[in-house]
Amino acid sequence: MAESEIKLLGAWPSPFVMRARIALNIKSVDYEFHQEKLGSKSQLLLESNPVYKKIPVLIHDQKPICESLIIVQYVDEAWSSGPSILPSDPYDRAIARFWAAYIDDKWFPSLSGLAKAQGEEAKKAAMDQVLEGFLLLEEAFGKCSKGKDFFGGDRIGYLDIALGCFLGWLRVSEKMNGVKLLDAAKTPGLVGWADKFCGDDAVKDVMPETDKLAEFAKILFQAKANAPPPAN
């Protein structure tokens, strides 16, 4: 299939875009990566995702697919000859989707809350939520991995992608707040998993460097600080 038939609209710092990139890498799919600029939306993005107007968007044969986890599932089904991303067992597949929803709906907002928290008390409350989530995910890892390296077993799967895409921003949070959120004493399974995930061939070239991501975070925070207040 010609490379031009597959486009991914995104931006390198986005963990949600990384999900799509990892899935495409697992399936060895060649694609064009169209970088969206901070603070602006391309016409192609607005036309491809008129509902949410957000990245990522995968365009396959001129048909757009939106939302990161939906894209991961689509890639798994559209390129079925490659390694499977979702579990083959219906129950395992349902459990993976459950925890992926938990990560997006509960855990990631708590990580984002840590960056926005004002004052030591608010930061501690946000940090406690992140750590509480990690304890739940540590238990889930033990059950889903069945003693193997990844949530998906022997290789990276759906839930690995759902959580692993946030590891870069997790490291930035640790650096900026001077804390260790992923702790080998409390969550040894996740610590070992994170090292293996970041070193995987499908991941290592799309996982941003911590310092580069931290610099981007400073630019992002500054842009938000300088933004005009919303109109009444």
- Name, in order, each residue with C-beta under 8 angstroms of 25's C-beta and a sequence gap of 6 or more: 201, 202, 203, 205, 206
Total number of domains constituting the chain? 2
**What sign does the dihedral 52-58-59-64 (CA atoms) show?**
negative
pTM above 0.85, yes or no: yes
Indicate whether 96 and 209 sit together in one domain.
yes
Specify whether the CB–CB gap between 6 and 56 falls below 8 A.
Answer: no
Indicate whether 117 and 53 sit together in one domain.
no
Over residues 47-92, the pLDDT tens digits come to 999 999 999 999 999 999 999 999 999 999 999 999 999 999 999 9
User: Would you say residue 38 lies in a domain?
Assistant: yes
Indicate whether 206 and 150 sit together in one domain.
yes
* Range of the structural domain that residue 124 is part of: 90-214
Indicate whether 147 and 169 sit together in one domain.
yes
**Mean pLDDT computed over every residue of the chain:** 93
Any idea what the CATH number is for the domain that residue 179 is in? 1.20.1050.10
Over residues 178-230, the pLDDT tens digits come to 889 999 999 999 999 999 999 999 999 999 999 999 999 998 877 766 766 65
Over residues 103-143, the pLDDT tens digits come to 999 999 999 998 888 888 988 999 999 999 999 999 999 99
Percent of the chain with pLDDT over 90: 84
Indicate whether 51 and 115 sit together in one domain.
no
User: Would you say residue 63 lies in a domain?
Assistant: yes
> Is the preceding peptide bond at 56 cis, omega within 30 degrees of 0?
yes
